[in-house]
Structure 1
Amino acid sequence: MSLFLTRRDFLIRASLGAGGLALGGCDVLEQRADVNAVLRSAEALTMKTQRLLLAQRPSAREFSSADISPTFRVNGTQMPDSQAYAALLGGGFADWRLKVGGLVDRELALSLAELKQLPSRTQITRHDCVEGWSAIAQWTGVPLGLVLRMAGLKPGARYVVFYCADELEKTLDGSGRYYESIDLIDAFHPQTILAYGMNNTDLTVGHGAPLRLRVERQLGYKQAKYLMQIDVVDSFSALWGGRGGFWEDRGYEWYAGI
């Protein structure tokens, strides 16, 4: 059982009391509406508790260049299974544009060169994967909050949704397109960046070229790679499984704070 499922096991037992459930498999529990409701309420409690604690130390720890890991495993997809992405890669991403839309005053379509001209932030942080491994790397990119301010937020804006080039399981909406989301609290955190560089070089394909999200206070599956589009929304109700992310629609927690 993964670290993620073990944590959910703990939350269920804490909520229902010792002996309340004999857990034989979290995938089975996910199919029960009553237990699913407990999981969601426990997740909300965890998010509120972690943010109260983080108020005393709001940033993820940053390291020195001497701490950078000699190797950094590729998390998730190594190469998007997308003809459109392959064409963009073949052209050196010259034709790639990051689209920003939804509940914004001004829709944007930013090239990689334009993003690199904006004020940047460099940070050396630890990536914690839900599978149990960690690695430290240096990331350089544009603060997400800066891009959102350029677009301007309309009333009702609450979440930022990230759509990616990689297509995984042919389920739910029929495409299995990878997506993720965070709320505006994390979106405007100074360490939340749209990264185009890793360890003083442009991102490799395996690590999410040309652009990936770094939201340093959450687990690795929230760090969406191969970004293509950002939408600002007021809810997840119109999105596939309605839980705000590819893995969340399959049972993972939406708030993966560490």
Structure 2
Amino acid sequence: MTLMTRRSLISGLALSAGAMLTGCDRLAKNESFRDVLFSAENVHRWTQRALTDRNALAQEFSPDQMSPYFRPNGTRNPGTAQYATISANNFADWRLKITGLVNRPLSFSLPQIHSLPHRDQITRHDCVEGWSAIGKWRGVPLRTILNAADLKTNAKYLVFHCADTNGGARPYYESIDLIDAFHPQTILAYALNDKPLMVANGAPLRLRVERHLGYKHAKYLMGIEAVDSLKSIHGGKGGYWEDVAGYEWYAGI
């Protein structure tokens, strides 16, 4: 019996893709289709999902394995007048708005978020800069929010709009597809290590999408928008770092 290695699986996927192109002349002549089919990003995404169950969990750790200090990633304070105002009164006037391709647009206050069923998970944050930290997160499963909003059938992605504007140059945002959105470990976190999120860690609410690198874990959430395409959102590549620095949109680990 021949064992299938990761390399042989990738080769098999490429061969299958080539056979599909050969068998369909119309698609084979479509340059855009070929670019999407053979892009490294999509091979990365397809390969990971072929190797693992779509709901496979990221590793979770025990309390004694938690890092003594959880280093903040990215911006430590949005520094905008709007954020200064909403943080000054402990986010009493903050609202998370759910918009876009939903049948029920929603708006949540922080106490309402806290009142929803939550999940605790101790996971490792892997930063693209090369450092890692293990922390305990508490938050509402994103799928709870999405089920309440009732996504329309043409929704394909979720865009996370943030309070951070990177000095006014352009707003910070991120996006994921619905497979990651409904993953059981994808949560909207409001506590780290049993304490409310500090500003440096993304208060009042941040995304935790545990099977991705840290830059996908959007902080300072202000709104979630369901869309059918990312092309018209800011730079069109699905996220701030994707737009300005060429990071891959799919950052699965």
Bin of the TM-score, shorter chain as denominator length:
0.7 to 0.9
Alignment RMSD (CA, Å) = 1.8
> Equivalent residue for 1:31?
none
CA distance in 2, matches of 1:38, 1:158: 16
In the alignment, which residue of structure 2 is the partner of 1:234? 228
Query: How far apart are the structure 2 equivalents of 1:110 and 1:79?
Result: 22
The question of whether the paired residues in 1 share the 8 Å contact of 2:55 and 2:183 is answered with: no
1:72 deviation in Å?
A: 1.3
TM-score (norm 2): 0.84
Note the C-alpha offset of 1:39. 11
Q: Distance in 2 between matches of 1:166 and 1:217?
A: 23
AA of the residue aligned to 1:60: A
What's the counterpart of residue 219 of structure 1? Answer: 213
SS of the equivalent of 2:164 reads strand
- Which AA in structure 1 matches 2:216? K
Q: Deviations over 1:68-114 (max 9, x none)?
A: 00011110001002100000000110000000000001111100100
Match of 1:129 among 118, 122, 127: 127
Q: Which residue of 2 aligns with 1:248?
A: 242
Q: Are the structure 2 counterparts of residues 56 and 151 from structure 1 closer, same or farther at C-alpha, using a change threshold of 3 Å? A: closer
Quote the residue 2:114 is aligned against: 116
Q: Secondary structure at the match of 2:175?
A: strand
Q: 2:61 aligns with which of 57, 60, 63?
A: 63
| Higher helix proportion | 2
5+ residue gaps, structure 1, are 1-14, 16-36
Matches within 5 A, 1:155-170: 155-168=153-166, 170=168
Task: Report what 1:183 is aligned to.
Answer: 177
Cα separation, 1, equivalents of 2:147 and 2:36:
36
CA distance in 1 between counterparts of 2:38 and 2:199 reads 34
- The list of structure 1 runs, each at least 4 consecutive aligned residues, that deviate by more than 6 angstroms after superposition, is none
Provide the C-alpha distance between the structure 2 equivalents of 1:113 and 1:40, rounded to a whole number of angstroms: 46
Deviation at 1:169, TM superposition (A): 5.5
Whole-Å Cα distance in 2 between the matches of residues 209 and 233 of structure 1? Answer: 25
* Separation in 2, partners of 1:56, 1:100: 25
The structure number with the bigger radius of gyration is 2
Structure-1 separation of matches of 2:94 and 2:38:
37
* Number of matched pairs: 220
Offset at 1:40? Answer: 7.4
Aligned match of 1:11: none
Q: 1:88 to 1:45 in 2, by over 3 A?
A: same
Q: Distance in 2 between matches of 1:206 and 1:248?
A: 22
TM-score (norm 1): 0.82
* Structure 2 letter corresponding to 1:256: A
Which residue of the other structure, out of 97, 100, 125, is the alignment partner of 1:102?
100
Deviation for aligned residue 1:54: 1.9
Distance 1:56 1:161 in 2: 20
What does residue 252 of structure 2 align with? Answer: 257
Which stretch of the first structure deviates more once superposed, 239-248 or 209-218?
Answer: 239-248
